[in-house]
A and B are shown apart, each in its own frame.
Chain A
Amino acid sequence: MTTISKPADVPAQRDQGKSSGTLLEVRDLHVEFHTRDGVVKAVNGVNYSVSAGETLAVLGESGSGKSVTAQAIMGILDMPPAKIPQGEILFRGQDMLKMSGEQRRKIRGAKIAMIFQDALSSLNPVLSVGYQLGEMFRVHQGLSKKAAKAKSVELMDRVKIPAASKRVDDYPHQFSGGMRQRIMIAMALALEPDLIIADEPTTALDVTVQAQVMDLLADLQREFNMGLILITHDLGVVADVADKIAVMYAGRIVEHAPVHELYKNPAHPYTRGLLDSIPRLDQKGQELYAIKGLPPNLLNTPPGCAFNPRCPKAQDVCRTEVPPLHTVADGRGSACHFWEETING
């Protein structure tokens, strides 16, 4: 077992992780964007790790830095404007940030693959899906066009696309939303990578299709024993598939925990707020809880804990001091000054 997140000042435990099958470890990652309006610090010291066969859910609102972290791992951030001033991204113990562009390219798609939210815009509209799938084999394995196409049909079968051999030459716009997302998944699976990062893979889909796509993803993950980083803002999706959860707010991890512990007993007021705002059948008729206020603003982030203006428990210390990530239990942490009170009710 590995811990998913720890403060930057305790490096001692890290090396244990590597030997026990840690695939990916993000250490004290910082990402900033240099824009005309100034430097936007999108990620501020994120730590997490994933092992083979494990699912880590990264939870947060838009702008929390969860997608930026994922893109930094993939190495697909546009630099500039993005910059990584600090941090390490270890893949099987090797820091990818120190690798050459060519080394990183060979990892992308083959070892670490990514599934994007909007399959329609994420697939090239003018190339057939067969071509786009086959490209993986042709580029990474040097297969011929014909062999690659045969592999593409196989892949499409695998993600349960009906009549795959007939549809392999169709274009993305000819598929339904759910089928397109299956193609995205097929593309990510093509080379049987060690790790898949799924960025809101079901957000753009109908609810019924969401469940099918999520089940498919979970099945395939089990089958190939892959690590999965599931980025989402939907707590409902997380509960069924994730092993552990990292909650992000304003570019930091505010809480991380094994999934059941987090649901049972959140140790951060933000997590608690998120959980309370899920509609529940046993609370029918009652008014739904909502976290007041808006996500932190680019030009005006509050000092101290970034969550303090929206936090029901905020005290003076929250407005002045950034809370460190306190260890709540083994493999569990919370960046709240008052985590003990929070966890107890």
Chain B
Amino acid sequence: MGRYVIRRLLQMVPVFIGTTFLIFVMVYAIGDPIAAMFGDRTPDPATAAAIRESLHLNDPLWSQYLQYMAGIFQGDFGTSFNGTPVVELMGNAFPNTIQLTLVAFAIELVVGLTLGVIAGLRRGRLVDTGVLIFTLLVISIPTFVTGYVLQYFIGVKLGWAAPAVSIDVTLDQLLLPGIVLAGVSLAYVSRLTRTSIAENLRSDYIRTATAKGLPRRRVVTVHLMRNSLIPVVTFLGTDIGGLMAGAVVTERIFNIQGVGYQLYQGILRQNSPTVVGFVTILVVVFLAANLLVDLLYAVLDPRIRYA
């Protein structure tokens, strides 16, 4: 187990460096941060040069990257072009997004697993077909369409939920955005669970468990679930990053001042430190979630633990 964890951590290092460098290159090398700072105005060459110097933009790219990463490890994500430290922006934005993501994740987990388990156990029956059609529709309708439609009908027409989220985010306001954000992932979780349950249900060890005279409930909860959930856990882990990225769309629809909002503003204003900082954090979250999944995997499946 210990060796497995260490191997995973070591594998993550080059991936972390590669991914952050890739983003760094995209923003700093391909884009022009100085031009972005001044927007449509043409900057005075002397001023531009001075700014370049102060931001180390004349150093080679790898040196800039190293300086940036060194800063990150000291908790310094640089300063946004309008003078606010990026860390401060993060402090305001992340709590909102994390709450939204958690709400969405909880919905995805509970609803997705329930639907998947029911459909998997009743494969080929009416419930199963219902779940399949429902998930097919949810996957097919893009999030921003569902977002506006639900906001319009549930939020505005019926008034069942808040159509927009106020500055002081409360949990009940996040319910509707959470559903919208969870939608597609929820559908994937149900389908994956369904497939996995249905496949494992036919396995030899389930036949053995039945032949042992175990009650059906025990066969399902003890023997079937644990095996069937292994692939689902993998998906759930990798999906945390996906949810946080998807928050960009949801936050825009429901006007939530979170990571997506800041990222979007940063992109519109070409505020490179903000963009790189936020994306870096998201990537770290994504990688951490993947690592967590690998560890969970080992906990769930002894064949990996003792490999």
Contacts and interface: CB of A to CB of B under 8 A. Distances in A.
Contacts of A114: 208, 211
Contacts of A135: 212, 214, 222
Contacts of A123: 205, 208
Nearest to B227: A126
Interface string B207-223: 11111111100100011
Contacts of B218: 139
B213 A140 contact: yes
A108 interface: yes
- Interface size range on A against B: 20 to 34
B204 interface: yes
Interface in A127-172: 127-128, 135-136, 139-140, 171
B211 A125 contact: no
Given A118-B204, A139-B218, A174-B306, A113 B209 contact: no
Given A118-B204, A123-B208, A108 B213 contact: yes
A134 to B, nearest CB: 11
B213 A109 contact: yes
B300 A122 contact: no
A140 B212 CA distance: 9
Given A121-B204, A122-B204, A108 B303 contact: no
Interface residues of B, number: 23
Contacts of A74: 211
A116 B302 contact: no
Contacts of B211: 74, 76, 108-109, 113-114, 116
B213 A139 contact: yes
Given A109-B213, A110-B213, A126 B226 contact: yes
A139 B217 CA distance: 12
B303 A125 contact: yes
Interface of B: 203-205, 207-215, 218, 222-223, 226-227, 230, 300-303, 306
Interface of A: 74, 76, 105-110, 113-114, 116, 118, 121-128, 135-136, 139-140, 171, 173-174, 184, 187
Given A109-B213, A116-B207, 14 more contacts: A105-B213, A107-B213, A116-B204, A116-B208, A116-B211, A121-B204, A124-B208, A125-B303, A126-B227, A126-B300, A128-B302, A139-B212, A139-B214, A171-B306
